[in-house]
Amino acid sequence: MQVLTFDFHNTLANCDPWFDLEVRDLPSSVIDHLRLPLGDASKHLVDRAYRQLRLDVIASGNEIDAYDAVSLVFEGLDIPADRAAVELAIDDLMFECTGAMRPVAGAVGTVRHLHHAGVKLGVVSSAVHHRTLEWILDALGITSCFDVVVTSASSGFYKSTTAIFQAALDRLDGDPATSVHVGDSLRWDVATAQQAGLTAVWLKTPRRETFASTTPTAIPDLTLDSLEDAGPVLVDLLERIRMPINA
């Protein structure tokens, strides 16, 4: 079956406070939220441990979700914390961030256009806290447009491996040869999606990659300067992939 998947951050919505928690600040923010004693540790050590954990996840392709990640950092630095309290704190911090969410220009209209055109849609995102995406998609009013939301937290795989795309395709019953992924990262949304066999559409943004990479720049199959009025363009792309000119 032909399907189309979207990245989340900087593709469907911008939510920088959430993104900062995801990639850098989460354990330190939990410490502040719960007023945890640091003992012999320091915020610098906490941040460094979390950054290394994220780098290890990228290298292995195996995700560690928000709850386990913070717990591992605390255990490694002998910071005492009740696991249930940590999980509630993470949920609170993530939910608070959703108020800063702003839809990417044209994203909501494009998603609705594709949905009304009968395109089967999914979200594929490296995210350590799955529920945040559900909250934000609901706030955008487009939850019902998506058949699946696959995050690294829910699938167990980061976008450095094709396994996260395969997990989404499996749930959508999607055929990679005729399916499309749209995202703003050449490294994760274009290169990895293409490795998984999908056609990759790059949403051109002024973003910088969070973690440095020596990976060669990927070449997208299609580049969009904006999602404004992109629905018909993507429908046309899907039709061309489904029925190649030289078929």
What is the per-residue pLDDT for 127? 97
Amino acid at residue number 213: S
Tell me which of 3.40.50.1370, 1.10.3210.10, 3.90.79.10, 3.40.50.1000 is the CATH number of domain 3-15+102-242: 3.40.50.1000
The string of DSSP letters for the chain reads --EEEE--BTTTEE-HHHHHIIIIIHHHHHHHHHT---TT--HHHHHHHHHHHHHHHHHH-B---HHHHHHHHHHHTT----HHHHHHHHHHHHHHHGGG-EEPTTHHHHHHHHHHTT-EEEEEE--S-HHHHHHHHHHHT-GGG-SEEEEHHHHSB-TTSTHHHHHHHHHHT--GGG-EEEES-IIIIIIHHHHTT-EEEEE------SS---PPPP--SEEES-STT-HHHHHHHHHHHHS-TT-
**pLDDT, position 244:** 60
What is the residue-level pLDDT of the chain in tens, covering all 247 positions? Answer: 999 999 999 999 999 999 999 999 999 999 999 999 999 999 999 999 999 999 999 999 999 999 999 999 999 999 999 999 999 999 999 999 999 999 999 999 999 999 999 999 999 999 999 999 999 999 999 999 999 999 999 999 999 999 999 999 999 999 999 999 999 999 999 999 999 999 999 999 865 554 444 455 789 999 999 999 999 999 999 999 987 655 4
Look-up: residue for tokens 């487009």?
142
What pLDDT sits at residue 247?
46
SS (H, E, C) 211-237: CCCCCCCCCCCEEECCCCCCHHHHHHH
Distance CA 238, CA 241 (A): 5
Q: What is the pLDDT of residue 243?
A: 73
What is the rounded distance in angstroms from the CA atom of residue 57 to the CA atom of residue 81? 23
Location of structure tokens 């995801």: 22
